[in-house]
Amino acid sequence: MSDRHALYFAYGSNMDAARLRARVEHAELVGPARLPGYQLRCDKPGADGSAKANVVARDGHEVWGVLWRLRVAALSTLDRFEGGYRRVELTVERVGGGAALAASYRAERTTEERAVFDWYKALMIEGARAHGLPLPWVAALERIAARPDPERARRGLA
């Protein structure tokens, strides 16, 4: 049923509109959203040797991200890009009020936090800025440890 839609909460590189739309067609921006009771960590091991963003339940914390409207069928496509994550449903709070149930992803396996690649961090920061996430959140993203990707051709594709 291609006319059915679902909400998707992005907190990592898929906050960047160009990146998400390169992965799934017809991603419609809903706006900023907050995930209370969770903490952002870079503890998901990537196949490329870097870390990727993840959310873990943690009282007293919150994660900001971007809420998108996708065709339900697009979630299966997104699942293929999100290897090492499992799709979950999380309750997020929309800016301006109201809770929403949204699909998102959590790491299947975690390690100690480590550095993300510089391009991955840049996608997160640009996505957060472009969608007006709070400045303290953008500053927190800027503090994430990053390192250069030895394979520059991979930029934006991993």
Secondary structure, 3-state, the chain: CCCCEEEEEECCHHHCHHHHHHHCCCCEEEEEEEEEEEEEEEEEECCCCCEEEEEEEEEEEEEEEEEEEEEHHHHHHHHHHCCCEEEEEEEEEECCCCEEEEEEEEECCCCCCCCEEHHHHHHHHHHHHHCCCCHHHHHHHHCCCEECCCCHHHCCCC
pLDDT in tens, 53-78: 999 999 999 999 999 999 998 898 98
pTM over 0.95? The answer is no
pLDDT in tens, 103-128: 999 999 999 999 999 999 999 999 99
User: What CATH number did the domain enclosing 55 receive?
Assistant: 3.10.490.10
pLDDT at residue 35 in the model: 99
**pLDDT exceeds 60 at position 130:** yes
Q: Is-contact 39 56, C-beta < 8 A?
A: yes
pLDDT at 1: 34
What average pLDDT does this structure show over 30-52?
95
pLDDT of residue 155 exceeding 70, the answer is: no
Phi and psi, residue 2, nearest 5°: -70, -15
Tell me what pLDDT residue 154 has.
67
Phi, psi of 32 (to 5 degrees): -65, 150
Q: How many residues does the chain have?
A: 158
Residues 6+ apart with CB under 8 A from 110: 41, 43, 44, 45, 54, 56
Range of the domain at 85: 5-154
Answer yes or no: is pLDDT of 2 > 50.
no
3 has a pLDDT exceeding 70: no
Q: How many domains does the chain have?
A: 1
Asked whether the predicted pLDDT for residue 144 surpasses 80, the reply is yes
- The answer on pLDDT for 129 being more than 50 is yes
